A and B are shown apart, each in its own frame.
Chain A
Amino acid sequence: MAHFPKPAEGSWTQHYPGLGTGPISYRDSFDPDYWQQEIDSIFTKEWLCVGRVEQLSRVGSYFTKEFAWANRSLVIVKDQGETIRAFHNICRHRGNKLVWHDYPGEETSGYCRQFSCKYHAWRYALDGSLVFVQQEEEFFDLDKENLGLVSVACDVWEGFIFVNLDPQPSQTLTEALGELATGLAGYPYGEMTQRYSVTSKINSNWKLFIDAFVEFYHAPILHQQQSTSEEGQKLAAVGFEGLHYELFSPHSMVSSWGGMAPPADPRMVKPMENFLRSGLFGPWDKPAVVNNNENLPPLVNPSGHRAWGIDSFLLWPNFMILIWETGWYLTYSYWPDSPNSHTFESSLYFVPPETSSQRVAQEYAFSVFKEFALQDANTLEATQSMIETGVVDTFVLNDQEVLCRHHHAAAREQVAAGRRPDAYPWMPAEVSA
């Protein structure tokens, strides 16, 4: 029995007829040739979030991103004019990697006045221009003007820094974000600067972890023990239903209930949650800056349900923003290292604590979050290894897994089109028009 209303068609999935309801193949999650096509027609064509403006706090702050899957290394920097720029991390003299510490393959961050190459000391200003050549007179017809760093398309939306590996992106960042560009704007992301960032190498295709985070059907089961035993059994018996699902193809969102912060009855949660007023849903006491959720962005909490707990947005292709009712946000990125492995990155963002109690409540929220992430991560390896056997060809997805169905389909379509198609068959008419 549905506890929350579904669309008139009877299900979220049938609300988008182009998606179908049949079993789907997971060959797209281990086939090496398909993976390469995803790199070629999705990851090297789309805008990819690489971080937040707060990570580049002053002129000269930089960080690198290693995109080994595309054979690319980037350096992202705040230049003298406070513009955030991205460059290919290669010296124009003889090709040495420009910015790295100790291990050339590892990401790094820091601050500098200029970039100086470790090999022969060519130097570049923060805007990429070549400003110093060692023994310049030894060169022949050196055209310094045209020997600046090779730039990469870079733009900022709501403080999130995006790059695009396509030398000529077919869309601006705002165009690519579509309805989300304004629909998710205005949240006080910039006030939530208390950041916990973790990364992990996961032995699964990148899409499998997205699957695990765009459906909560697994949550009452896989994570059952993380609730008190009585509450855990109750949740498992009831199962999970989303409040709302919506496609903004190729992006998507799910809205979920979450009445545990604070719980109706203290016995529903672990003693530590009561001691610290915090848990998986974050600290229970909302920071003033969210104004009691009076000014949520237009696409957040679309059902307006009083039991609303969290909205989870997939910003195509590999970035997720989760906005919690309790007044903080979480991001996930998935980098496709190989057909059956990826690098997972996650960041929790809170308002800087004003008291020690708030500080401990945030620490506990991180500790609990990480227990869930560890459970999720290891399950993926178990899934990947078995779908790769090919013993079973197709798998069935239920209505609460509509977003799994959708993002695999969106990838297929983009691969088939060679790049993002103009319209997806399941897009609502008013959007594709």
Chain B
Amino acid sequence: MSAPLALPEEFADLAQFEDWALETWRERYEKRLASTVDEMQALYDAITPRIEEILSYCDRHDVAELPDEVRNLMLLLFSLCEASLPVEIWRQPRVPDSGAADLTMVAEPRL
């Protein structure tokens, strides 16, 4: 077994969502499409009650040079951005009526 996802001690329990710590938007979007709403709800319910605490923790570090464990926490927040849309609006992984429509990311900021 590999080591659990490195996270700040206060948020170590979020390591259970380590497969949401993904580097690119495309990976996060595909993870969203491949997940159930219940799975995304679990991520949402684990993070949102503590989101202020998490953000202020992250804000104590220079965003240009985040230590690994804070960076991982940020990646979970990025996945939450994606997963929150099915949870809060659609109640299904895909945007309704979006059919075959898809987007290719050409350039995105990286942490």
Q: Are A368's CB and B103's CB within 8 A?
A: no
Contact partner, A225, options B82, B89, B102, Cβ 8 Å: B89
- Of the listed stretches A141-149, A150-158, A269-277, chain B binds A269-277
| Nearest-CB residue, chain B, relative to A203 | B100
Residues of B within 8 A of A366 (CB): 25, 81, 108
Number of A-B contacts (CB under 8 A): 110
Number of B positions contacting A (CB below 8 A):
38
Contact call A226/B89, Cβ cutoff below 8 A: yes
Whether the pair B104, A198 counts as a contact (CB closer than 8 A) is yes
Interface string of B82-111 (1 = CB under 8 A from A): 101100111000011111111111111101
Contact call A360/B74, Cβ cutoff below 8 A:
yes
Residue from B55, B95, B104 in contact with A357 in the complex, judged by beta carbons closer than 8 Å: B55
- Dominant SS among interface residues on chain A: helix
Chain B proximity mask over A229-264: 1 for CB below 8 Å, otherwise 0: 000000000000000000000000000000000000
C-alpha spacing A363/B84, complex, angstroms: 12
B12 CB-CB contact with A under 8 Å:
no
Contacts of B84 in A (CB 8 A): 270, 272, 367
Q: How far is the CB of B109 from chain A (nearest CB, A)?
A: 5
A356 engages B63 (CB within 8 Å): yes
Q: Are B88 and A270 in contact (CB under 8 A)?
A: yes
A59 proximal to B (CB < 8 A) = no
CB-defined A-B contacts under 8 Å, sample of 26: A196-B105, A197-B106, A197-B108, A199-B104, A200-B104, A225-B90, A271-B88, A272-B48, A272-B80, A272-B81, A272-B88, A275-B48, A275-B51, A276-B81, A347-B107, A356-B59, A356-B70, A360-B55, A363-B77, A366-B25, A367-B85, A374-B102, A375-B95, A375-B98, A378-B101, A381-B100
Given A195-B109, A374-B101, 5 additional A-B pairs, CB 8 A? A194-B109, A270-B88, A362-B109, A363-B81, A375-B97
